[in-house]
Structure formats: C-alpha cells, structure tokens
Amino acid sequence: MDTKLTQPAKKFNWFSLFWEGVTHMSILGKTLWIVVIIKLMVMFGILKPFFFPDFLNSKCQNDKDKAAYVIEQLIDRTNHTP
Amino acid sequence: MEILNASLVNWSRAQFAMTAAYHWLFVPLTLGLGVMMAIMETNYVRTGDEKWRKTAKFWQTIFGINFAIGVATGIILEFQFGTNWSNYSWFVGDIFGAPLAIEAIVAFFLEATFISIMFFGWNRVSKKAHLTATWLTILGATLSAYWILVANAWMQYPVGMNFNPDTVRNEMTDFWAVALSPVAVNKFFHAVLSGWGLGASFVVGVGSWYLLKKRHVDFALKSIKMGAAFGFISFILLAVTGDGSAYQVAQKQPMKLASMEGLYKGKTGAGMVAFGILNPNKQAYNDSIDPYYFKIELPKLLSLLGYRDINAFVPGINDIVDGGYTLPDGEKALSFDEKKEHGQLAIQALANYRKAKQEGRDADAAEYKNTLQENYAYFGYGYLKTGQDSIPHVPLTFYSFHLMVIIGFYFILMFAIVWYFGHKKKMESAKWLQYIALWSIPLAYLAGQLGWIVAEVGRQPWTIQDVLPVQAAVSGLSTGNVITTFILFATLFTLLLVAEVTIMVKQIKKGPEI
C-alpha cells in the first residue's frame, strides 16, 4: 500500500520570522542595523540628555509652575521683543 | 527675565529649518519608492513573472537603506519643541500633542510591524500575505505623514481650539476640525504626491544610469516605463493640489500669497507671475521702489487660483498692512495697527486676568477673560512693532515658490517624454534623455525643499498664524547653546547623509539580482 507522506503546513510564527530574519541577515542588513543603533544611541543617549533637556522641566517643578512661567514670558516678551 | 535677542530667535529658527530640511531628504523617497515597489510586487503577484519579483526586491533594498538611515530623524524636531520652543510647546498644548501621539502609536507601529514581514518574510509567508504587508508598510508611512501634516496645518490655520488662561494652553474643542482641516487635507495630498514624484524621478534616474552603463537593460526599461507613468500622473496631480494650496493660502494666509507673488499693491483680476526678477533695492513695503526689475505675468490667473474668480481682488502686502479692503465674506479688512491694538488688548487682558486671579477678584477676572477671548484672534500682533514685522522674507518666498513651480512643470514634460520614448522602445538608444533623467534626480529633491521653504518662511513671523510670533515662542536659552547644537546637528545629519549616499550608491552599483 502506498503511503503518501505530506508535510504539515508551517504555522506563521513571529518569533521564528524575526529570529530567522536576523540570523540570516545580509552584510547590508547588518550594516544598516548598526547605523540605526548608533544613531539612536547618539540621539537618546547623548543629544537628548546633554543638549536637549526639556526647558520647562529644568525651570519648573510642576504644571502650575510651568503655566506661571509661560504666562510671565508671554507678557514680558511684549516689552523685550527684538 | 531672560534677555531675548534677534540672534537667539534666528539661530533657533535656523536650527529647526536645517533639521527639518535634512528630515525631508529621507521622507519623500520612503513615500514614493514605497508605493512604486508595492506596485511592482503587485505585478509579480498578478503575473507570476519572477522578473517583477526581483525588480521589486531591488527597489525594496534601496527603500530599506533610505528608511534605516532616515528613521527617527524626525524625533530631532520633537527634541527641539521641548528645548528651543518651550513657550510654543506649552502654548499649543494638546493640539500639537494629539496628532503627534497618534502618529507615533498608530502609524509608526503599523509601519514597524509590517516592515518586518516585508523584509524577512519573502520565503516565509504566502505571496499575497507578503504583498499585503508591503502595502500596509507604505500605508503606515503615509498615515505618519498625515498626522504630522495635521500638526503643521494647524500652525498655518489654527482651528478647533479655545485658549485657557488658567493653564495658558490652547485646548482642543473640536478634534475633527483639526484632523480634517481643509489646509491639512490639501497639504497632505500635496506633500505625499511630492514624495511620489521624487520616488518616480529616482527610479527613472537610476534606471537611466543602468542604461548608460548598458547593465540590467530589461530591468532598467521596466523600471523606467513604470516610473515615468507614475511620475507623470504624480506631477499632474501635484499641479492640481498646488492649485488647492494656493486657494487655501489666499483664504487663510493672504500675506503668504502676496509674498509668494511679490505682490505689494493689490489688484482686481490679478495676474500670476510666470517669471520675474525682484528688485533687491526694495527693502520696505511702504517705500516707493518698484518691487520688480522684470516680470512676465499670466493675466487674471492669481485671482482665479486664489478666489476661483478671474476678477477677484487679490490683496497685496501694502493692502494687508494698511487694511480697508473688502474681504471675501464682505467684511472690511483690519489694518496692521488695528490688529496690533487687538493683540495688545488681549495680552494686557491676560496680564490683568492673572493679577485678578492672584488677588481673588473673580468678577474682574471674568471680565478680563472676556476681553482676552474677544481679542484672542490677533493675540500675536501685540508682539509686533510695525507693519514690516508682519511680512515674511519676500525674495526667499517668491523665488522658492516660482522655482518649485518651474521644476514641477519641467517634470511633467520630462516624464511625458520618457514615457513616450519607453513606449516607442526608443529609450535604450536615447543617451541624451538618459543623462537628463539621471541629472533630474536632485531637482526633485530641490523642489521638495523649496515647497517647505514657501510653507514655513511664508508664514513668518508666525509659529501659529496671527496668534504666536517666533519671538514669543522661542525658549530663553543662550545663543551660544543654540549655535553649539546647530553645529552638532549639522555634523550628525551630514554623516547620516554621507552614509546613505555611500551605501545606496554601492547597492545601486551592485545592481539587481536578475
């Protein structure tokens, strides 16, 4: 009696998609990922904390203080507009 | 109290402009190339022709390079809202925050989720599933663009909000007025189509390079023919949405339109300048110097574009400053001085309201709040000194607008010719046309940048039209800090751009696997 062997259909799996994709990545893919990672590290690790702190957070403790600060700026800028 | 100086304002503006300009080098190619590679993959799924699969895969690789280098460059702009434009950030409140939040959560995750299937799933999911992922990736990118442009459109035409003097924030009262603002909708189509046009010029240009090198000829001809048709349609539609933009600008930002056209004295049945050279000696709107050395005008076209009436009155810069002309709704236009008076009343009312609240004088506070709300529409004019302050840089706006339009019409012609040559099977031998197509790629990038210069320089001095000028919006940082970060950003973005061009050129030289 002939038996027909059939392969069961492979179920879609996010993890294996990513794992196989990452582990079989081309040199180009790896290069681009390195660029992305370095870029994000520079942006969030260096630029944001050291050069782009939130200005109002550095001046004010809470939302009420921020509103008070901004209103003072809005009123005062009419006298000191360059 | 921080001492504000013009240098701080200008460096802050320059920094934002520079980072936005760099960001806009990457985004249009994502939008345009994304659609084209999706169409190519659709051809593959429909026909089963492996050549279309390999064509789509090649352009997908180029898409991936551009996407990887460009991703998150927009976040730099958000950094600056918090650091360099803190008054503006606080003042706009949730109006700005909501579209940006939606952009991040919905659009980005849609893009990020399906891009992984697009790149990793070629042999792991069915053809149709992969094609769906490709289209959903580009849909995600396009949706991102929509919400960012909703935010920008609100700066040009602030609607759907109410100013709360207690929180000193604009609060959204009508989400749909903001989300479906006619300025936002038109801006979205115009910006996305500019990306499609750029993508098409890129494909046609790179395809032409392969023809010049006599490499991958079949792939190149397929890409060029498709790119030319896509580009032609995109630029035709760009002209239509450009018309829509002019209409919106005429209604909502008449000073921008007047600057775009170098129109100082308004006219009934105003013509549109097809070509002109401005007189650099004209320094002030109210001097008697002729604004033009020379111009060629298309009669009545500006009235038609701006007001859908060839005999409509189009106000010039002088009219807008002096006021007194009749608006489309029949009302008399206020002069700059009248608007300034309203603005000063509003700002003074805000100051009085704050004092009254601090002193517990609730009845007085309610009266001041009324005065503030009655005059709020011209709040920003209270910061300006003279009519000249309300006028953007006319030469930059004028030349950017006209050069952008010329490039747009050039591309309509170029794509028509390329498509014709492709159709007649003459493209392979037309070396002159291959060179033109290749060297046209930078023009598409230039047109995109010029469009943003018109939009953003043309709205000066406003961060929010009529409500908040740049000098009130900027953070009181030291100019030295801003110069330092300007240099840092210029360095970072230049490195990214060099990386992109290097990697992309290497991949293009390698060619498709056909």
Q: What is the rounded distance in angstroms from the CA atom of residue B144 to the CA atom of residue B151?
A: 11
Placement of tokens 């170029």 in the chain: B414
**pLDDT at B65 exceeding the cut of 50:** yes
**Predicted ipTM > 0.90:** no
**Which of the residues A60, A70, A72 would you substitute to probe the B interface, choosing the one with the greatest number of B C-beta atoms within 10 Å?**
A70
Q: What is the rounded distance in angstroms from the CA atom of residue B105 to the CA atom of residue B80?
A: 20
* Distance between A82 CA and the closest CA of chain B, angstroms: 5
Q: Which of B342, B372, B355, B463 lies closest to B164 in space, CA to CA?
A: B372
Please report the pLDDT score of residue A8 as a whole number.
47
Encoded amino acid at B415, one letter: F
User: In chain A, what residues touch B87 (CB-CB under 8 Å)?
Assistant: 70, 73-74
pLDDT for B194-205, tens place per residue? 999 999 999 999
pLDDT for B70-124, tens place per residue? 988 888 998 999 999 999 999 997 788 888 888 888 777 888 889 989 998 898 8
Placement of tokens 């001046």 in the chain: A59
ω into residue B461 within 30 of 0, thus cis?
yes
**pLDDT at A81 exceeding the cut of 80:** no
Q: How far is CA B234 from CA B24, B161, B190, B448, in A?
A: 18, 34, 10, 13
Q: What percent of chain B has pLDDT over 70?
A: 99
**pLDDT at A7 exceeding the cut of 70:** no
Encoded amino acid at B433, one letter: L
When pLDDT is cut at 50, 70 and 90, the band that residue B131 belongs to is very high
The sign of the torsion formed by the CA atoms of B263, B266, B267, B269 equals positive
Please report the pLDDT score of residue B128 as a whole number.
95
Please report the pLDDT score of residue B4 as a whole number.
64
Shortest CB distance from B79 goes to which of A17, A35, A52? A52
Average pLDDT over residues B50-79: 93
Q: How far is CA B94 from CA B163, B244, B334, in A?
A: 11, 28, 30
pLDDT for B240-262, tens place per residue? 999 999 999 999 999 999 999 99
CB B171 within 8 A of CB B5: no
**pLDDT at A6 exceeding the cut of 70:** no
User: Which of B98-107, B417-426, B498-507 is predicted with the least confidence, judged by mean pLDDT?
Assistant: B98-107
User: In chain B, what residues touch A36 (CB-CB under 8 Å)?
Assistant: 68, 71-72
Please report the pLDDT score of residue A2 as a whole number.
41
Q: Which of B326, B488, B377, B479 lies closest to B12 in space, CA to CA?
A: B479
Q: What is the mean pLDDT of chain B?
A: 95
